[in-house]
Structure 1
Amino acid sequence: MDDSPLKDRTVVVTGAARGVGAALATALARRGARLALLDHDEPALEATAAALPGTTLALRVDVADGEALHAAAEAVRRRLGPPSAVVANAGIAEGGSFAESDPATWRRVIDVNLIGSAQTARAFLPDLIRTAGYHLQIASLASIGAAPLMSAYCASKSGVEAFTHTLRAETAHHGVAVGIAYLGWTDTDLIRDADRYAALRELRAHMPGPARRVQPADIVAARLTHAVEQRRTAVYIPRWLRLTQLTRAAIPPLVLRATRRTLPRLETEQLVHPTGLLGPGGHPDRTTTPGG
């Protein structure tokens, strides 16, 4: 669209093969952006890129691999020009009790969601300083209120929230804007996979009504695209999530009270065993080594 500030600008999206990343890529392409799409699931990434109009560069990259990210950044600036916006969207999840979790899988969630987000910023920050650009970090309701049976995911999303605030403070004087997006439940393959597990279904079922509703990915992508265009400091999807910032100190006691009633039964029924990485986005981890 001719009136979009993203027209003919280079925009990077990580975790772009499917889900929110793919929907966001579609929305950004319609706004006329030149897209660099990064993901470590090459077949799905190429399928997403092939369906988009305009100029698109698809790069197989594991965000947990810092060297690969720096090589990707060089390829993006060489082939599309320095990015004006970067969306750190790549993320994975695992369900189940922390005590029974596999340490390597637990660490992999942290490496992708937290370390990978920081390494994405590190790789592209020189470009964003050059273009006085915008960095958007995809966070979660889990950044505000941690939930049982999702310890690695919640820890990583709390971490990216703190990292984003720090990055914003350190780069503002360079003209770089840094935003954070708090997403609720979104209709993706990851969420649909999580719903196959009784304990995770109950986790969502015991949340307050508005908090357990699932948002369509294209609606989420439209809001995120607007946030990139407006260089927003924070975006909440759905909008009511903003209210949780006012009451976040009260959330852990409420979660504790609810889970004291629910978890004993789930443990008795043996429903809290680790799920492994959820969704098809985690499938490449089962066939390739981390960072490969």
Structure 2
Amino acid sequence: MSDTLEGKIVLVTGASSGIGQATALALSKAGARVAVGARRTDRLKDLAQDAPGEILVVELDVTDEQSVQAAVAATVERFGALDAVVNNAGIMLSGAILGADTTEWTRMVETNLLGSMYTVHAALPHLLESKGAVVQISSTSGRISSAAGGVYAATKFGITAFAEALRQEVTTQGVRVVVVEPGFVSTELTSHITDPNMQAAAKNMAESMRTLQPEDIAAAVVYALTQPAHVAVNEILIRPTDQTR
């Protein structure tokens, strides 16, 4: 990547809402041509109408490796290359370990961790060719695990571990790896929680602080991707000023 995004091709996963949607719009405003992937393609089509630049809508389920491969292939077929991937797709299903519905664990591991790994695997040959970048959207939960958030944190710790191994493998070949770790962001992420007590706790937490907005995280992604080629911003931790941990 260079110090401008003009004409660069970026694939954003989980782009139908929240951080992914805001990042896709910010990248488009910065001059990138953006492929937006998610399962809710109706929302992606609305996003494409709002974006100032060229947008490719691709139906994408990151838990399905073939779907990921098809999305990357469609991006390269449309634009001719791939300069960056923003791995944003994720779910948070908080709850205690005792008595947990373990199918929710599986969903989080498959979406948050395996989904980002599948995307990297499919995109990496193209990113090596373009000397591009991988942006992994992690979380403060990738640094500090908390009660009732063990599995979500495990997926985010996993993202960080995978990203560091990836960085060591590809940095000398010109590919930059960025981990962005947001604190509490005002998105629909907490609405996925099925435990009513945990959903209430998340609501109370949000009301106790000035939360981050998706656009704040999008700005950090654009910042990392527009640094000169010799500068690798490997990690960005962003918390609301009011968040204590």
What is the TM-score when the length of structure 2 is the normalising length? Answer: 0.88
Q: 1:145 matched to which residue of 2? A: 144
Distance 2:63 2:139 in 1: 19
Stretch deviating more after TM superposition (21-30 or 100-109): 100-109
- CA drift at 1:122: 0.3
Contact 1:93 1:152 in 2 (8 A): no
- Give runs of aligned pairs for residues 184-203 of structure 1, distance below 5 A: 184-191=183-190, 197-202=196-201
The residue number in structure 1 matching 2:212 is 215
Match for 2:9: what amino acid?
T
Gaps of 5+ in 2: none
CA root-mean-square deviation: 2.6
Larger of the two Rg values belongs to structure: 1
Specify the alignment match of 1:278 in structure 2. none
- Residue 155 of structure 1 and its aligned partner are, at CA, apart by 0.9
Instruction: Determine if contact 1:4/1:31 at 8 Å carries over to the other structure.
Output: no
State whether structure 2 residue 226 is matched by structure 1 residue 229. Answer: yes
Q: Identity percentage over the alignment?
A: 31
Q: Deviations over 1:23-82 (max 9, x none)?
A: 111111110100011111222222222211211101011011111111111111110121
Q: Determine the C-alpha separation between the residues in 2 that align with 1:233 and 1:130.
A: 20
Q: Any stretches of 5+ residues in structure 1 without a counterpart?
A: 245-292
TM-score normalised according to structure 1 size: 0.75
Could you say which residue in structure 1 is the equivalent of 2:239? 238
3-state secondary structure, aligned to 2:35: strand
Distance 1:41 1:214, change over 3 A: same
Q: Deviations over 1:156-215 (max 9, x none)?
A: 0010010000000011122111110011000111236659944454468689x8xx6411
8 A contact 1:4–1:32 mirrored in 2: no
1:222-252 residue CA offsets vs partner (Å, 9 max, x unmatched): 12211121252111213879x98xxxxxxxx
* Partner residue in 1 for 2:124: 125
Q: Between Structure 1 and Structure 2, which shows a larger proportion of helix residues?
A: 1
Match of 1:79 in 2: 78
Matched, 1:7 2:3: no
1:95 match: secondary structure: coil
Please tell me whether residue 135 in structure 1 is matched to residue 134 in structure 2: yes
Give the corresponding residue for 1:163. Answer: 162
The count of residues paired between Structure 1 and Structure 2 equals: 238
